[in-house]
Structures are given as structure tokens and as C-alpha cells.
Structure 1
Amino acid sequence: MSGGNLTAVIAGQGALAPAVLAALADQGESPVVAALQGFAPGPGITEFRLERLVPFMDSLLDQGVDKVTFAGAVRRPHLDPELFDSRTASLVPRILSAIQSGDDAALRVLIAIFEEWGLKVIGTADVAPDLVPAEGHLVGGPNGHDREDARRAVEIVRGLGALDLGQGAVVAQGLCLAVETLPGTNAMLDFVAAHKALRPNPRGARGVLYKAPKPGQDRRIDLPAIGVETVNAAVRAGLAGIAWEAGGCVLLDRTETEAAAREGGLFLWSRGA
């Protein structure tokens, strides 16, 4: 079987999938939309199970799909051994090994399987480049202390990424207040909000949230994202601003997110290397 000239969006939860679909619609495309069962961002979306991955990929090819992009959050699914079809069952050792190896390893295997089936995997930056800001200050700007905190956060996030952990950290006055783990960015920021007294100097630098892909991460999937909820959580945490690796982070609902940052007195900084 061979694909045609059609994009499939494997949609997850959150605002990214609708944003990607809107970008494709602006480009005159009508993509096929599907979601892993239990993680569809809304009603009316075709769902599939990982246990029947091969029949699902075959169905994409039958519809003329030749490109796939992943957009949105999913969690590792529970696998039911009784639901595997015979062809997907042959992939079980690879799938289970990947799931047990960490998020980045699992995603690399998933990409490899799709591409072995003749489906080219493309990233958000390819599908909707406006969602991935280039270097620059979008709202306000960091002062010298903020820049130092951001620099320290960069080092921490690189260390986390090397261990295939999170994609974010909060640093204030040179101290790491929190790092992102499985519960996600908002949980990390809620922790910071509940422990504001951890800052040594109450009148000193308020701190910076920094987000970036993991070192060596395949950037076609699972880029970190920032949106209105992130800004509001950073405001509650008392931070000075949010920084991220330029070209390595998705900015959702840009107009609303920038407006929320201005209202909350936060800077938004797409930080170069």
C-alpha cells in the first residue's frame, strides 16, 4: 500500500490539536483526524487503540494519507493483551520496551514505526510555523537578574532532559524552586505558588519559568508548549516571566497569551542559544 497526498493529525488533549487543524485549514488542507482512545480533544473524532496500530496505519494509507503529525497531550495507555491483532502483536516487544524506557524513547519508536509503514512524520514547526516563535522578546523583557535565573534554568532543564525527565524548571535568585516531572508544568507552578517563601530574599528576583525540548529530542513530536493557562499559573506563582528555547517551544493562543502576560506583568522571552 502507498499513501497519497494527505496529512493525518493524531490529536491529543489540550489546545495544540485545534491550533494545528486551524493552521492546516488556512492552508486549504482537510486532514484526516484521529486520536488514541481516551485522549481525543473533543467529540466526533475517530479513535484507535495502540493494540491495533497496524490496522490503523493501514487505514490511513487507504485514505491517501502520506504525512502524519502528532498534536496534543497523551498519557501512556494501558495495553490489553487480548486486543492485539496478529500483525500489531509482532511489534509488542518494541512497543513495550519503548514504553518502559521513558517518554523520549517511546516517541522515537512510535515515529520509527509510522515511517516504516510509509507515513512521513512531520512536526508542528513544519505544519504550523507561526506556532513556534523565533528569538525575541514578545512581551516586556528580563532584567539582569532574570537573565541569570534563565541561564541557570537552561542548565537544569538540559540536565533533566538528559535523564528523559521534564522539559521545564523554575529558578529564582539562582535557586531551583521546582522542576517539571510527570504531573506537568501547571503542577510545577502550583508547587512554586504554594512555596513562595523558598525565595531567600522576599524583595529579590521573583524567578523565571524556562522550557525547552530535551537534548537530542526528535522535535517532530512532544515540543513543550506555553499558553494562557501557563501564564496565569506563573502569575499565581509570583514569577517575573517565562522564557523558552527559541524555535523549540509552541506558543498557543498567541494573542490571548500575550495579553494575559501584559495584564499579569510577566515578560515572555523566546531565548536564543
Structure 2
Amino acid sequence: MARLAILAGNGDLPLRLAGLRADAVQICFSGVQHVLGRDAEEHAFEKMGALFAALKDKGVSEVVMAGAMSRPPLDPTAFDDVMTALAPRLLAAMQGGDDALLRLVVEIFEEQGFKVLGAHEVDPELTVCAGLLAGAPLSDHSLKDAERAIDILSALGPLDVGQGAVVENGLCLGIETLQGTDALLGFVAQTPKTLRKGGGVFVKAPKRGQDLRVDMPTIGPNTVKAAAAAGLSAIVLAADAVIILAQDETLSLAQAAGITLIAQDF
């Protein structure tokens, strides 16, 4: 089996992958939160040449990027030769959305001879096939709201805006932006009752053309709790294209809250 390196951001996903692949090299980055233990090696984004060399010295041929990573400030005076050569491309990509930057990061690792895997390729049980996962089947009303949310996400996909939308009674209550799912659902929860009629559907799906190896949409127990607090009746996921963390707990929480959780082909 090829040796894997886990490039870790924040959250539980890197831990899960590390538990599955005990031989994997665990990498964290200066200025980026993570929950890995002492086995993780810390590297600086300014020293990408040192990172590539370290991975190759350890016989790594595959890498997976897992967990949320912020964009820490870079110190150009600390760039090594490799990073200095990469900087113009990276800085240009940073002016675009996350998709452009992540596609470039994948390209750079591939240029260095590494195969970039998605977390779902390391652990296929992270995603689910189409089907009802918890709660009752979607009502006709909720189905129309879900279709409306899917249309909104499809229209916004080329603009690299977000991976989620909430629709209730045909009206869009919120769109996921850079702040993420929790912020979206928190915003919906604060919507005045005079503007709502109850229920509502949260749809989570990749942006069109998104590289699922490095930025697959993710939900978990906190998503269900936030959806319940926002008074939503359903969560609709793109089948085989959204990671469900702590799957048993997530489905149990949805069932207990009376929230329909369903995966479907878009």
C-alpha cells in the first residue's frame, strides 16, 4: 500500500483518517488549528520546499487534505526557494475564490509527484448513497423547497459562492458563504417569525465543477442541532458528494428532532 500523508486542518476528520491509516504521516501547519496529537509534524506554509522534501524522505506518494484550513498571513521574508517560485501563482489564485486556490494546490502537489486523494477515497464510509437516512419522506411542499434551493446553488456555483442554501415556502432564507454552515443556520434562526411560516429545507451540495478531493461539503451532529434551532424540517444532501461526520450520532439526532435527512442525486 502506498504511504499516505494527512495534511490536517481543524476538526475531527483528520483524526478519523489517522485512525484508519496508522502508518500515515501526519502533517499540521503553523497558524492552522488542528486536533492531532504529538505525532503530527508541524510545517510552515512559507517552507513548502521543506515540506515536499520531508514527505519524499518518508516515502510518501499520496496525500489527503482533511479538515478546515484558514488562510494564515504569509511572511515573504521567510519563503524558501520553492515557495518563492510558487508565490506568483499562489498569490494570483488567492485573488479568486476557494475553488481556484484549492485547484492550484492540488496541481502543485501533483507537479511534485504526489497523488492527491479525497477523504472519501481513504474512507468510503464518509459519504452515503441516495436514500432516506432519518425522519419521514419529504412532503410535496418540502420537495419543492429543496428543488428551489438546488436551483439557487446551481445558479451560484460558477461564482464560487457556497455549498448550502435554506428555502422555506419557496423563499430563500439564506445562502452559505465564506463564514460556513454554522453561520448560515444561525442567521436563519434569527429570521423574524413574521417572515416565516414554519419548516424550511437546508440543501448541502458541492459547487458545480468543485474538486471533491480537497473541499467536499461536510455535515455532522452540530449541523443537525443548528438546523433544529433554526426550525428547519429537512436536510437534503447530494448523494455520494457530502461527508457525514459521526454518522450514527448525526442520524440519531435528526430522528430525535423530527428532521428529515435525505441524500439524493442532483
TM category, shorter: over 0.9
1:94-109 pair list within 5 angstroms: 94-109=89-104
Partner of 1:22: 19
2:179 paired with 1:189: no
* Residues 117/104 of structure 1: CA separation in 2 closer, same or farther (3 Å cut): same
Which amino acid is the alignment partner of residue 19 of structure 1? R
Alpha-carbon distance, 1:159 to partner = 2.2
Please, which runs of 5 or more residues in structure 2 have no aligned partner? none
Look up the match of 1:242: 235
Q: Which residue of 2 aligns with 1:256?
A: 249
1:136 is aligned to 131
Matched, 1:148 2:144: yes
CA distance in 2, matches of 1:33, 1:137: 35
- Matched residue SS, 2:6: strand
Report Cα offsets for 1:111-151 as digits up to 9, x if no partner: 00000000100112211110011111110221111111111
Contact 2:32/2:72 (<8 A) preserved: no
Deviating more after overlay: 218-227 vs 10-19: 10-19
Task: Give the TM-score taking structure 2 as reference length.
Answer: 0.95
Residue aligning to 1:166: 162
Distance of 2:148 and 2:139 partners within structure 1: 14
**Runs of 4+ off more than 6 Å:** none
User: 1:1-273 maps to which residues of 2 (within 5 A)?
Assistant: 5-24=2-21, 29-42=22-35, 43-44=37-38, 45-140=40-135, 141-197=137-193, 199-202=195-198, 206-273=199-266
C-alpha distance in 2, partners of 1:198/1:244? 28
How far does residue 196 in structure 1 lie from its aligned partner after superposition? 4.7
**TM-aligned CA deviation for residue 199 of structure 1:** 4.0
How many residue pairs match? The answer is 263
Identity level (%): 41
Q: Which amino acid aligns with 2:251?
A: E
State which drifts further: 225-234 or 259-268. Answer: 259-268
Say whether the 8 Å CA contact 1:177–1:198 is kept in structure 2: no
Q: What is the TM-score of this pair, normalised by structure 1? A: 0.92
